[in-house]
Structure 1
Amino acid sequence: MRFHRPPSAEDLLEMAEAAFAAIPDALREAVRGTALLVEDLPDEETLQALGLEHPWELTGLYRGTPLTQKSVLDVPAEPDTILLYREPILVEWIETGEDLYRLVRNVLIHEIGHHFGFSDDDIARLEGEG
């Protein structure tokens, strides 16, 4: 996919949905019902909570309770959400020359990994499988 303008939030969401559809069925089924959103930048409250100084330091975020901490007795306050941050992803794309679809896919998989409580090594293995 070639772009003649900066990819929009809709473009990134389309890539993320395609990447989500291509992950293994068992993994996709386990995160069914998780909302997938694209925002331009993380808000100041999120940055402060994560101890980050610049919004371009965060390409994605999983909001919700990881499976390792969920109980069947829990009443969810809001649906689990995977946020992808458009501007930081585009900055990384420009700086690294990585294929944009692959970059979006890796951010998505990284955030799904947080849902399962995977280690960074586990997540890196998943990212390398595509």
Structure 2
Amino acid sequence: MAVEMSFAEFEDLVDRAIESVPQSLVELIDNCIVVIEPEPPEDDPHLLGLYDGIPLTERNSSYSMVLPDRIFIYKSTTLAMCDTYEEVVEEVHITVVHEIAHHFGVTDETLHELGYD
């Protein structure tokens, strides 16, 4: 059974997940915003999160005057896969860390090896 919560409650969980990332890593995040969306894109209805941008490892001296990278966190799919509030907290944390890792150039393969499935 899916968990229900308001957008504000979900947003708070995303904020808490970001705050749990070590400050030394947060300080390295560059030109990136986090966007919470109610629904994932129609072409990928099971998506929990998405990194859209140029990872730090791929930026060079020509990287300037670009729009911020975006990390999307999708509320409906996260709530639909969880049976308890605690599961939502854990899944939001995993998703936020996973997408931040992509900003740093960490691949899905490496994330899976580290247990971030």
- Same fold by TM (over 0.5)? yes
SS in 2 for 1:15: helix
Normalising by structure 1, we get a TM-score of: 0.73
Structure with bigger RCO (C-alpha 8 Å, 6+ apart) = 2
* Alignment partner, residue 29 of structure 1: 27
* Alignment partner, residue 59 of structure 1: 48
Structure with more of its chain in helix, by fraction? 1
Q: How does 1:103-122 map to 2 (within 5 A)?
A: 103-120=91-108, 122=110
Unpaired segments ≥5 residues, structure 2: none
Q: How does 1:73-88 map to 2 (within 5 A)?
A: 73-88=62-77
Percent identical pairs in the alignment equals: 29
Change (3 A) 1:97 1:65: same
Does the CA contact (< 8 Å) of 2:40 and 2:77 recur in 1?
no
State how far apart, in whole Å, the 2-side matches of 1:65 and 1:82 are. Answer: 11
Does the CA contact (< 8 Å) of 2:49 and 2:99 recur in 1?
yes
Does the CA contact (< 8 Å) of 1:59 and 1:107 recur in 2?
yes
Amino acid at match of 1:7: M
Amino acid at match of 2:99: E
Across the aligned residues of Structure 1 and Structure 2, the Cα RMSD in angstroms comes to 2.5
SS in 2 for 1:62: strand
Give 1:121 shift: 5.1
Give 1:11 shift: 1.5
Does the CA contact (< 8 Å) of 2:39 and 2:77 recur in 1?
yes
- 1:6 is aligned to 2:11: no
